Structure 1
Amino acid sequence: MKYKYQLITLGSDTPFIENILSLFNSRVSELNISLDSFKIINRDNFEREYLGNQPAFTFYFGDKNGNFKDVEIAKKLLEDGSMILPIFFTEDAFSDEIPKVLENQNGIQYKQIENDRIVNIALESFELLRNTRKIFISYRRDESSSVAIQLFEALESHNFDVFLDTHSVGKGEPFQEELWHRMADSDVIVLLSTPEFLSSKWCEEEFAEAGAKQIGIIQLVWPNHNIEKDDTSHISYPTKLKKENFVNDLFDDKDASKLKSDFLENIIKDVESIRARNLAARQDSLITNFRSIASKLGKNIVVQPERFLTEDLPGDLRRIFIPTIGVPQSNSCQTAEIRNEMRSGKVSIRLIYDDLRIRKKWIDHLDWLNTNLNIDIKTLKKQEFESWLRNN
């Protein structure tokens, strides 16, 4: 059976549904996943199209007047263990605008600025987008500390896991090693480009490391600073700040400068927006590198629509290679299609990952798991692609 992701819309017939679906399609395209892997379901085709044994995610749009639709369908989905995201419209009115059957589900208030977050929640539920939501703030302490802390607090309030050196390195941890590790495991870097940023050895190295790891950068360029063309890359999204973006036009006080709240919201929206694009770029890099080496060694590696790789062997055996961003986790292989493959009992799985700048203690731990535990899922680091493919 070919599994499809079922995206379901229920509840009020609001025009916002089309906005969400259009953005969802754009994000899927950015992830280089075929839209044929999805089917869109609503009350009109639910009985005909919905399958309880295939992955499903539901947007339930509430009603300001309490006239709730599709409640029985929502009950059915809850019984099947499907995730439902209730979307309400008025602040603090969740219980008035969402039916009681969904009262135990975490909801979100609809705002246009939240469209990216709403779509990303669905992609995370389908396990097509990492749900770790890791962000790295790069800055020069003696130029932009107050804005860095403001961003840290704002991003954390939007459920991002944010790395800021003054807040995120534990006591006794090797500072620089932990910093590179957290950067390697991040989805997006927010870089505060102040006039002397690149004059700092560490800031310059952070910028170079981001390029080497192909991590997307949102670069906020201070009003009194102009970036040179060679300071940017194809994965950098520079925004030239104006003094009016700052509270009281104060942009050059490291301890007192603050971004205005509406501008801060736009930055958070941009962070949400480029997560899928950056994930796709890093996956493409791993896939291209792995397939190139395999092809050179005469192996036929096929890219599946869900963005994992397969190699068919004699005796109906199959290898699955899953491009994994950051530090490999066990849930990196939980998409429905891979779970279906695993049921055959003739599948071996490798999580392929770029080990550059990941802390040695993590790599040693992953290598120990590969050697000492009889598990179905093992890891394979980028620097060992060729030697492993040559010998297996």
Structure 2
Amino acid sequence: MQEASYHLAIFGSPPEGFVDEFHEALQAKLAVLSLNLGIEVDWYTGMPAEYRVANGKCTAALCFPLPDGQDVHITKLMKDGVPVIPVASKLGHLAAEFPPSVSILNGLGLDSSDVPTIVNCLLECASLLPRQRRVFLSYRRTESTTAALQLYAALSERLFDVFLDTHEILPGEHFQEVLWQKLCDSDVMIYLDTPSYFDSRWTTAEFGRAVFRGVPILRAGWPEVALDDRSQATLDLRLTKDDFLSDGVSLTNECLARICRSAEDLRAEGVATRYRLLMNAFGTSLERAQATIEGYSLRRSLTVKPKRGEPIYVYPALGVPTTYTLHDATLDNHPAPVAVVYDNAGIEERRWQTHMEWISNYLEKDVRLVEPYNSGWRFLDWRK
């Protein structure tokens, strides 16, 4: 039996009928992504004391009111980096229905959030919204354009946001800068390992930069192409002649499905890994400033308690932040300014930098971009 790529949970005591309605809405949302509850997506309902975190997997949970003593297990889950969304009968009742360790988190109220909204919030915490599922295709045009176009279509059908250089870079744009920017924004890179893949300066650079950025890599290896030494850290999917149609260049539907499924598995692990790396860098800087992370919740937000002063609310961005990222960080009505922390390694596109610097000047009082290693330093004087 295959291991699930994503793990979702409901803790505590939801109102009668909620779980069945939620289950039905969740199944419908996942079906659009070609994912199945109980197969690719694991599902748990019960008390947090019995829940076991799946290390290296995308995990998120809803939390309804708990019996006395169960909140310590929620605290442990948050220390493991699991986003937890408390759900109260009314949004204004969070403090009354949950202990302080849980009510401090971003939460939802059944009076103001319907089931589809709550489903979307949980999927967002597990990085399962379509706009969060980004794949970068790396290939030699002279050898595998047909297969790359097939994969683009197959992945797009599964609601991945796919980068393919022939489709995504407009005339007049600085080709290489845009390409590196898209790579930094991707959850997984699939490279079509044809006979001369590593003979190209550009595909070799794409591979090396994906490794540096921490983007997980899936190798689709052509028949009789030996595994390069550089590929030892990749997920290796070796193709055979049976994976191709009679023309010798087009992939079979079965092969396309296998690559898409492998990309889904690798993406789930990769998101968890990249998130952990970002949090490690962020946490190291906070430690130097004697600040602590108190919890993870809605929109993967963090509650950071500085050594002195009020909590600071932080929104991690795994990819390249945009104005949409900044806007989303302001939706929870936290005391301003809130922070968006992102991994700036490799993000060099000049137009993006100019635009973000321009918009940041206007939003400085509401939301600020923060690099992880500078966060503790900046938080020392955050509201001054």
Q: Is TM > 0.5 for Structure 1 vs Structure 2?
A: yes
Name the residue aligned to 1:353. Answer: 342
Deviation of residue 225 (structure 1)?
0.5
Could you say which residue in structure 2 is the equivalent of 1:104?
none
Residues 135 and 187, structure 1, Cα contact 8 Å, conserved in 2: yes
Report what 2:290 is aligned to: 299
User: Is the 1:135–1:160 Cα contact (8 Å) retained in structure 2?
Assistant: yes
Q: How does 1:313-392 map to 2 (within 5 A)?
A: 313=306, 317-329=310-322, 332=325, 342-343=333-334, 345=335, 348-358=337-347, 359-382=349-372, 384-385=374-375, 388=378, 392=382
Q: Tell me how far apart the structure 1 counterparts of residues 271 and 371 of structure 2 sit (CA, whole Å).
A: 18
Map 1:1-392 onto structure 2 (within 5 A). 8-10=22-24, 19=38, 23-24=42-43, 30-31=56-57, 33=59, 37-38=62-63, 53=90, 80-83=113-116, 123-125=122-124, 128-129=127-128, 131-132=130-131, 133-233=133-233, 236-248=234-246, 251=248, 257-295=249-287, 297-302=288-293, 304-306=295-297, 308-313=301-306, 317-329=310-322, 332=325, 342-343=333-334, 345=335, 348-358=337-347, 359-382=349-372, 384-385=374-375, 388=378, 392=382
Shift in Å at residue 159 of structure 1?
A: 2.3
Report Cα offsets for 1:77-134 as digits up to 9, x if no partner: 999543189xxxxxxxxxxxxxxxxxxxxxxxxxxxxxxxxx9x78535574453122
Amino acid at match of 1:388: R
- Aligned mates of 2:184, 2:213 — CA distance in 1: 7
Cα 1:30–1:331, aligned 2, differ >3 Å: closer, same or farther?
farther
Please give the alpha-carbon distance, in whole angstroms, between the structure 1 residues aligned to 2:36 and 2:129. Answer: 24
| Alpha-carbon distance change, 227 to 371 in structure 1, aligned in 2, over 3 angstroms | same
Q: Deviations over 1:266-320 (max 9, x none)?
A: 222222233322111111111101211232x342221524354433247751112
TM-score by length of 2: 0.67
Provide TM-score, normalisation by structure 1: 0.66
Is the 1:191–1:217 Cα contact (8 Å) retained in structure 2?
Answer: yes
CA contact (8 A) 2:59 2:126 kept: no
Indicate the SS of the match to 1:322. strand
Matched residues in 2 for 1:318 and 1:191: separation?
43
In structure 2, do the counterparts of structure 1 residues 314 and 227 end up closer, same or farther at CA, with 3 Å as the change threshold?
Answer: closer
Partner of 1:74: none
Q: Take 1:189 and 1:182, find their aligned partners in 2: how far apart are those partners?
A: 11
Query: 1:158 is aligned with what amino acid?
Result: R
Aligned residues: 309
Larger deviation, residues 285-294 vs 358-367: 358-367
CA gap 1:168/1:330 in 2 versus in 1, 3 angstroms = closer
Q: Distance in 2 between matches of 1:84 and 1:350?
A: 24
Aligned-pair distance for 1:376? 2.0
Q: Kindly provide the CA deviation profile for residues 225-283 of structure 1, in whole angstroms up to 9, marking residues without a partner as x.
A: 111344232xx2110111101112x54xxxxx111112211222222233322111111
The DSSP-based 3-state class of the residue aligned with 1:155 is helix
Specify whether residues 202 and 22 from structure 1 end up closer, same or farther in structure 2 by C-alpha distance, changes over 3 A only: closer
Q: Report the AA paired with residue 354 of structure 2.
A: D
Q: 1:230–1:275: structure 2 CA closer, same or farther, 3 Å change rule?
A: closer
RMSD between superposed Cα atoms in Å? 4.0
Displacement after TM superposition at 1:196 (Å): 1.3
What amino acid sits opposite 2:367 in the alignment? I
Tell me the amino acid that sits aligned with residue 82 of structure 1.
Answer: V
> Paired residue for 1:95?
none
**Using a 3 Å threshold, how does the CA distance of structure 1 residues 258 and 78 change in structure 2: closer, same or farther?**
farther
3-state SS, counterpart of residue 170 of structure 1: coil
Cα distance between partner residues in 1 of 2:380 and 2:195 = 49
Say if 1:301 and 1:309, in contact at 8 Å, map to a contact too.
no
Structure 1 Cα separation of the partners of residues 127 and 171 of structure 2: 34
* Aligned-partner residue type, residue 83 of structure 1: P
Tell me which amino acid in the other structure corresponds to 1:299. Q
Within 2, Cα distance between the matches of 1:300 and 1:314? Answer: 5
CA distance in 2, matches of 1:314, 1:382: 18
In structure 2, relative to structure 1, the CA distance for the partners of 1:239 and 1:127 (3 Å cut) is closer
Which residue is 2:3 aligned to?
none
Of 158-167 and 213-222, the range deviating more from structure 2: 158-167
How far apart are residue 139 of structure 1 and its match?
0.4
Question: Does the 8 A contact of 1:309 with 1:320 survive in 2?
Answer: yes
Match of 2:98 in 1: none
Q: Distance in 2 between matches of 1:209 and 1:175?
A: 16
CA spacing shift, 1:135–1:314, aligned 2, 3 Å: closer
Deviation at residue 155 of structure 1 after TM alignment: 1.7
Call closer, same or farther: CA 1:334–1:232 in 2, change over 3 Å.
farther
Distance 1:51 1:265 in 2: 41
Query: Partners of 2:112 and 2:313 in 1: how far apart?
Result: 32
- 1:18 to 1:212, Cα distance in 2 relative to 1, 3 A: closer
The answer to whether the Cα contact below 8 Å between 1:124 and 1:131 also exists between their aligned partners in 2 is: no
SS at match of 2:378: helix
Larger Rg: 1
Give the match's secondary structure for 2:290.
coil
